[in-house]
Structure 1
Amino acid sequence: MRLWGPWHRRLHSQVSHITTPIFYPNARPHLGHLYSSLLCDVFHRWQLFKKGSSLFTTGTDEHGLKIQAASERAGYASPREFVDNLCRDFVKLDRAGDIRFTRFIRTTDADHVENVRKLWKLCDLNGFIYRGEHKGWYSVSDETFYPESKVQRSGTDADKFINTETGNEVVYHTETNYFFKLSAFRERLVAYITENPRFIDPSAKRLQVLRELQEEGGLPDISISRPSSRLKWGIDVPGDPSQKVYVWFDALCNYVSSVGGIDAILQDAIPEVALRHEGGNLEVSSAEWWRNTTHVIGKDIIKFHTIYWPAFLMAAGLPLPKQIVVHSHWLSNGVKMSKSLGNVVDPLLMIDHYGRDAMRWFLLENSQLEDDNNFQEDKLHSTRELLVSKWGNLVNRCCGAKFNLQRAVATFASMDRETLLNLLDGDQMLKEAVQKLFTELDMISEKMDGYISRFESRAALRNVWSVIDLSNTLIQDSKPWTKEGPQQDVIIYACMEASRILSILCQPIIPSLAARLLDRIDVPLDRRSVAFTKVGTDDLYGRGSNERGRPVPLQRKPLREQ
C-alpha cells in the first residue's frame, strides 16, 4: 500500500475544484458563511468564464455532539430532523446571494458516509490508528481536545475553564477511544509546506502553521473517535460500533466525497456520477479534480485543514489538494459579532433590501484575506449609491437621446486604433484621454484574471472603479453634447466600450447587474464571453440603446430603517 509519497501532479490550468468549509448547522447561517461562499462562487464563475472546467462544492457538517445537544434543546425528535430543517437555511442563503454551487454535500449523504469508512480503513491499514485512553480538556463547541498549556480559568467565572484559542468553555474528560498518529507526520508536513509555498495562502498563515508545527513538544497524536455512550449522532467506527468517528475526521472527508470518492481518486477514474464542466461535455477524472482542489476556509479552522487534513490524506496514501486559502472574519461596526451585543448582521435582510449584487460588491470590495473586515450598513448603502451614480449614470448619459451609440459602434468597432485616434488630432487633451482609456481596457482582462486567481477581490474592484472613473472624467471634461460628428461618436463609443467590457468581466462578480448593464446597451447574449473583452471585438451592440423610455439598470434605494 502506497503511503504519502511523490504523486505525479499533472495540474491542469483549465480544471479547478473549489470548496467552502462545510458549515455546522447548529444555528442559522451568518455573514461569514456568505463571505466564504462568495469567494468560491466568484472564483468558480471566473473559471467557467475563461472556458475552463470547474466544480464548486459547499454543504453542511451534520454530525457531532454539538448538533446532538442543539437538537435536544430545540425539542426535535431526532438530530436528523434538526439538520434537515437548518440545512434549508444554508441553501436559502446561497440562493439569495446568487451562489451557484455544483454540489451541496451533507455529511449524512450515503456516499460520504461510505467514504469516511474508507478513509478510516486506509489509515488503519497503514498503521496510523490505535486504541488508547484519553485524558484532557474537551470543548463541546469546538469538538476538540486542548492541551493543558492552552487552558485557563475564565475571567468571569472562577469555576469555569476556557481554551485560549477560541475562548470557548472546556471540561476535563477521561475516556477510551481511537487515536491517529499525527506525531508521525510533523516532519513530512513541515517539508511539504516549505517546499510548496503556495499550498497555504496568504503567506502569513503559512508561517503561522509552520511555527505551530515546529513548536517545542512536537505534534501530539489526536483522538479521532468518541464513545457511542456519549456521542450518539455520528458514523460508527468500522468494526467497533461502541465508538463514533470524530466529527472532524468525518467532515474533512467531504472534499474527496464531492469529486467521486476515494476509490475513484486512487484509480484515477471518471466518477460513476459523471462530473461535467458547465457548458460542455469534457469529462475529468476524480484524481484530476482532486489535484486541482482549492479549499477556502476561515482562520478559526486553519489547524484542522492545514495540519489534520493533510496528515489524514498522507496516512491514507492520497494526494494533497492544490491549495488552502485562509480568510479572516467579519466585524460589525468594528466589534466582534455577538448575539448578546445584538450586533449580528443578518445577510438575508441585507440582500433583501439592498440587492444581491450590491451585497456581493460590498463584501468583495471591503475585504482582504489577511485582516478582519468591517461590515457597516451605511457603507453598503453607499456602495449601491456609487454603482448607480458612477456606472449606471455613465450608461444612462451615453444612451441619451442626443447621441447615437449604434452609429458610433458601426463606425469605429472595425476601425484600427491609430485611424480612430487621428480623428481627434484637433483636440490633444481629448485624444490623450481616449488613448489612456483604451490602454487601460487593453490590460484589464489580464489584470482581473490575476486578481481573481489570487483572491484579491479588493484590488480587482478598485481596478474596475478606476476605469469607470476614467470614463466619467472623459464625459465630464469633453462634454460630448457640445460636439458633433466623429468626435462626439468617438467619446460615446470609448465610454460604452469601457462599460461593455467591464460588464462582461464583472459577470462572475455581479451576475444580475452585469446582465442588466449589457441589456441596456443591447449586447447580444452570444457576445458576452471572454472573447469579446477587447476594444473593437463587438460591432453589433447599441441598436435601440438611445430610444427613450428604456429602464435604468439600477435604481437608488434609501438606507434601511432600523
Structure 2
Amino acid sequence: MSDKKTFYITTPIYYPSDKLHIGHAYTTVAADAMARYKRLTGYDVWFLTGSDEHGQKIERSARERGQTPLEYVDKIVAGFQNLWQKLNVSNNDFIRTTEERHKRVVQKIFQKLYDQGDIYKSSYEGWYCTPCETFWTEGRLEEGNCPDCGRPVELLREESYFFKMSKYADRMLKHIEDNPDFIQPVSRRNEMVSFIKSGLEDLCVSRTTFDWGIQVPFDPKHVIYVWVDALTNYISALGYGEEHDELYQKYWPADIHLVGKDIVRFHTIIWPMILMAVDLPLPKQVVGHGWLLLESGKMSKSKGNVVDPLVLIDKYGVDAIRYYLLRELPFGADGYYSEEALVHRINQDLANDFGNLFNRTCAMVYKYFKGQLEAPGAPEGPDAELIELAEKTPGAVEDLMERREISNALAAILRLAGRANKYLEETAPWALAKDPEKQGRLNTVLYNVAEVLRIATVMITPFMPGLPGRAWPLLGMEDRPELQGWDSLEWGKLPGGTVLKRGEPLFPRIDPATLEVE
C-alpha cells in the first residue's frame, strides 16, 4: 500500500448519441491536466471517465438505424476512446454503464434504497424532454419548452418508482453551508442553494416506457432511470460493494467531480442525496465549469453546430489544441471558440513567446559555445528580477491549480517565458558575443534563460504532455529525469557542462491567411 496522498478525479460520463465535440474535449482535457499535475507533485492519482449508455434516446436512435442499442453505442464509445487517446488523456479507467460491474452496484443501491423506504412506487404525469432525459413540472417550463435546452416536451403518464429527495433537503443545505468549497465556483453554489430552497419534488427513478436500461431488481418491468444508473458510475468503477473493493477503500470520496454547468444540479443535489441515503461519504468537491460557446451560441450535437476536435488535432497538433482549450476558458465562466482565436493563441503564446524563447536560446548557445553551457557567474543587472520570478512562479502555479484556475496557471507560466524574452533584449547576448572579455557574462545570460526554459517546461508538462518529449532533447535533459519533476523546481539545478541542441521550431507560426482560404 503506497503512503502517497491519493487524489481521485472524474469527468461526467458522456452520452453516446453522437460523436463528441470540442466542448466535451475541454472537460476531459481539464480533468487530465489536474490529474497530471497531481501526479507530478507526488500524488497517487485515479482518473475516471466513461460513457452513459442507457435510455430512451439511445433505444430510439438504434431502432431507426436497424441496430441493437449495444451495437449502436459500441461504435460511438470506441470513438470516445479514440479521441481521448489522441488528446493524450491519461485516464486510469473507462467505465461503461453497460458493463456487468456497473449493473450489479446500481441494482444493489436501488434495492437498499427501496428496503429502507427511500424509494416508493407511484404513478407519474409530467412534461418529459427526451434529449435531456428530464421530467419537468408545468411551472418549470419556459414558454412550454424544456428550461434547459429550449426544445419541445411531451406529456407522459406512467407508473414509476420515486426517490424521497425532499427528505434530504435540509441535510443537503447544511452540508453545503458547512463545506463552502463543496460546490465551486461560488456562483454555482448560490444557484444550487436557491434551487433546494425553492422546494424539491421527489425524483422519478424508474421508467416502463422503454427497456434499454438496468432492470429494477424486484420489479423487472421497470428499468432504473438515468440518475441512479449514471451517477453511480463514480463508485461502481472503484468496485464499491464488490468482493474486491480495494480501489473504493483507497480513493473514495472523490476529490473532484469536474462537470459542465448544465449538470451541476445532478451532481450537487441528486447524487449527494443518494449517497446520504445509503450512508456513504460525499465527494469533496464538484466543480461546474462554463461552456465553450460559438458566436452563434451553445454547441450541441442535436443542433449540428459542433466542432470536431479530431479535425483540429490533425491540423494544429495535440499540444496546441490542449493549450488553447485550457487557456481560453476562465475558471467557471464561458469562453468563445473560433478558429481565428485558436490560431491567434498558437501564434501569440506558443510560437512568439514560448517557442521563440527555445529557438533563440538554443541557436545562440550553439553559435557562441558550440552548444555547451558552463555554470553561471554571479548575478548582475536584470538577473535578479528574472531569477526571482522563476523562483516564485511554481508556488503561484500551485496556488492557482489548488483553486482549479487552470487558465491563470498557464498564464503565469507564459508570463515567465515572456519575462525571459524581455531579459534577452535587456542583456543583448549578441552584443556581448562581440567582446572577448565578456564571454563569462554571455555564458551567465544564456544559462539563466536555459534554466527558465527547464523550469517552464516542467510546469507546463501537465497541460501539454507531448511537449517534454520534444523540449528535453533541446535542453540536453532527455536522460535527466531528476531535473524534470516538480521537486526539481529550484533555481540553478541546470548542471554546468550541459549541451543544448538546435532543432525544428517547437511551435511554427501559422499564417492567418491560410484560414481565409479555407
TM-score by length of 1: 0.86
Letter in 2 for 1:359: I
Aligned to 1:551: 504
Letter in 1 for 2:504: P
Structure 1 residue 136: Cα displacement: 1.2
Paired with 1:320 and 1:405, the residues of 2 have a C-alpha distance of 59
SS of 1:59's equivalent in the other structure is strand
Structure 2 unaligned spans of 5+: 433-437
Alignment partner of 1:510 out of 464, 473, 477 = 464
With 245-254 and 65-74 compared, the bigger mean Cα shift is at 65-74
Alignment partner of 1:226 out of 204, 207, 226 = 207
Alignment partner of 1:411 out of 363, 372, 375 = 375
Structure 1 residue 27: Cα displacement: 0.9
Task: Give aligned pairs, total.
Answer: 503
Structure 1 residue 343: Cα displacement: 4.1
Letter in 1 for 2:378: L
Paired with 1:214 and 1:405, the residues of 2 have a C-alpha distance of 70
Structure 1 residue 59: Cα displacement: 0.6
Aligned to 2:435: none
Aligned to 2:384: 435
Paired with 2:250 and 2:300, the residues of 1 have a C-alpha distance of 41
CA contact (8 A) 2:11 2:48 kept: yes
Letter in 1 for 2:180: P
Structure 1 residue 348: Cα displacement: 1.1
Alignment partner of 2:23 out of 24, 27, 32 = 32
Distance 1:62 1:270, change over 3 A: closer
CA contact (8 A) 1:18 1:55 kept: yes
SS of 1:34's equivalent in the other structure is helix
Paired with 2:469 and 2:455, the residues of 1 have a C-alpha distance of 12
Aligned to 2:237: 258
Alignment partner of 2:113 out of 110, 113, 123 = 123
Paired with 1:223 and 1:108, the residues of 2 have a C-alpha distance of 21
Structure 1 residue 335: Cα displacement: 3.0
Aligned to 1:55: 46
Letter in 2 for 1:258: A
Q: String of CA shifts for 1:96-134, please: whole Å, max 9, x gaps.
A: 211111101100111111110111122122220111111
Q: String of CA shifts for 1:140-193, please: whole Å, max 9, x gaps.
A: 11112101111244xxxxxxx412233132111111111100010110000001
CA contact (8 A) 2:372 2:497 kept: no
Distance 1:223 1:339, change over 3 A: closer
CA contact (8 A) 1:405 1:492 kept: no
Paired with 1:57 and 1:540, the residues of 2 have a C-alpha distance of 42
Distance 1:287 1:113, change over 3 A: same
SS of 1:20's equivalent in the other structure is strand
Paired with 2:421 and 2:104, the residues of 1 have a C-alpha distance of 58
Distance 1:67 1:144, change over 3 A: same
Structure 1 residue 396: Cα displacement: 1.6
Aligned to 1:274: none
Structure 1 residue 515: Cα displacement: 2.7
Distance 1:180 1:540, change over 3 A: farther
With 194-203 and 474-483 compared, the bigger mean Cα shift is at 474-483
Paired with 1:453 and 1:250, the residues of 2 have a C-alpha distance of 31
Distance 1:191 1:488, change over 3 A: same
Aligned to 1:46: 37
Letter in 2 for 1:411: A
Letter in 1 for 2:179: N
Structure 1 residue 485: Cα displacement: 1.6
Alignment partner of 1:133 out of 112, 123, 132 = 123
Paired with 1:162 and 1:52, the residues of 2 have a C-alpha distance of 46
Aligned to 1:245: 224
Aligned to 1:89: 79
Paired with 2:293 and 2:352, the residues of 1 have a C-alpha distance of 28
CA contact (8 A) 1:405 1:489 kept: no
Distance 1:381 1:468, change over 3 A: same
Letter in 2 for 1:367: L
Structure 1 residue 339: Cα displacement: 6.8
CA contact (8 A) 1:334 1:374 kept: no
CA contact (8 A) 1:113 1:235 kept: yes
Paired with 1:129 and 1:69, the residues of 2 have a C-alpha distance of 28
SS of 1:177's equivalent in the other structure is strand
Paired with 1:195 and 1:292, the residues of 2 have a C-alpha distance of 18
Aligned to 1:20: 11
Distance 1:463 1:257, change over 3 A: same
Q: State, as a whole percentage, how many aligned pairs show the same letter.
A: 32
Alignment partner of 1:321 out of 275, 283, 288 = 283
Q: String of CA shifts for 1:356-383, please: whole Å, max 9, x gaps.
A: 1111111111102322110011121122
Structure 1 residue 342: Cα displacement: 6.3
Structure 1 residue 195: Cα displacement: 0.5
SS of 1:326's equivalent in the other structure is strand
| RMSD, matched Cα | 2.0
Structure 1 residue 541: Cα displacement: 7.0
Paired with 2:141 and 2:91, the residues of 1 have a C-alpha distance of 39
Letter in 2 for 1:333: E
Q: String of CA shifts for 1:30-76, please: whole Å, max 9, x gaps.
A: 11110110111000001110111001100100000111111112332
Paired with 1:411 and 1:405, the residues of 2 have a C-alpha distance of 15
Aligned to 1:354: 316
CA contact (8 A) 1:19 1:58 kept: yes
Alignment partner of 1:537 out of 484, 489, 493 = 493
Paired with 1:95 and 1:49, the residues of 2 have a C-alpha distance of 20
Q: String of CA shifts for 1:325-346, please: whole Å, max 9, x gaps.
A: 0011111136333579764211
Distance 1:540 1:44, change over 3 A: farther
Aligned to 2:273: 311
Q: String of CA shifts for 1:301-329, please: whole Å, max 9, x gaps.
A: 11111111011111111111111000111
SS of 1:57's equivalent in the other structure is strand
Aligned to 1:378: 340
CA contact (8 A) 1:128 1:315 kept: yes
SS of 2:221's equivalent in the other structure is strand
Aligned to 2:401: 452
Paired with 2:235 and 2:370, the residues of 1 have a C-alpha distance of 51
2:182 matched to 1:199? yes
Alignment partner of 1:110 out of 100, 107, 120 = 100
Alignment of 1:60-75 (within 5 A): 60-75=51-66
CA contact (8 A) 2:47 2:92 kept: yes
With 550-559 and 106-115 compared, the bigger mean Cα shift is at 550-559
Alignment of 1:251-290 (within 5 A): 251-263=230-242, 271=246, 285-290=247-252
Aligned to 2:168: 185
Distance 1:165 1:553, change over 3 A: closer
CA contact (8 A) 2:95 2:237 kept: yes
Paired with 2:498 and 2:308, the residues of 1 have a C-alpha distance of 40
TM-score by length of 2: 0.93
